[in-house]
Amino acid sequence: MLTGGCYCGDVRYETDGAPFHETICHCPDCRRIAGTPTVAWFSVPAASLRFTAGEPVRFNSSPGVTRSFCGRCGTHLTFQQDDLADEIDITIASLDQPDRVVPRDHTRTRHKLSWDAVCDGLPAYLDTRSEGAKQG
């Protein structure tokens, strides 16, 4: 069981789903929404995610994409695509024990900031891993 929540504690969640697609995203949307150079994510089956305290605020950040955050403290929590409704992405840093889910690659590095060096030895994809093009 993985548990987590927002900074202020108003929104809490748990999932018993097995994590997959553990990644560090470099896209401009994640960067702007979180106010960080990258966001680390993992996916679980959407049906396995339960909010145990509070409800996050949801908004459409782009066509077909819904993100959620805590309405009080602003912690970014989830990302879900309409065309992949059976899965949901959760921010690794919102976990109570973020070291339990380790990123396995970098995605959307085409958009990474020039000063953000990808030097951890993980595979780095220019866009998504399914598109297959690796960085340099």
CA 18 distance to own-chain centroid: 15
Q: Is residue 93 part of a domain?
A: yes
Q: What is the reported pLDDT for 130?
A: 80
Q: Is residue 136 part of a domain?
A: no
Q: Is residue 91 part of a domain?
A: yes
Q: Does the pLDDT value for residue 135 go beyond 70? A: no
What band does 129 get if pLDDT is binned at 50, 70 and 90?
confident
- pTM of the predicted protein model: 0.94
Cβ-based neighbour number of residue 84 at 10 Å: 13
Question: For the chain, what percent of residues have pLDDT higher than 90?
Answer: 93
Tokens of residue 111, six digits: 């958009």
Amino acid at 95: L
Q: Is residue 31 part of a domain?
A: yes
Q: Is residue 99 part of a domain?
A: yes
CA 84 distance to own-chain centroid: 14
CATH number at residue 37: 2.170.150.70
Q: Is residue 32 part of a domain?
A: yes
Q: Does the pLDDT value for residue 136 go beyond 70? A: no
Boundaries of domain holding 8:
2-131
Average pLDDT, the chain: 95
12/77 Cα distance (integer angstroms): 10
Q: Is residue 98 part of a domain?
A: yes
Q: How many separate domains does the chain show?
A: 1
96/16 Cα distance (integer angstroms): 14
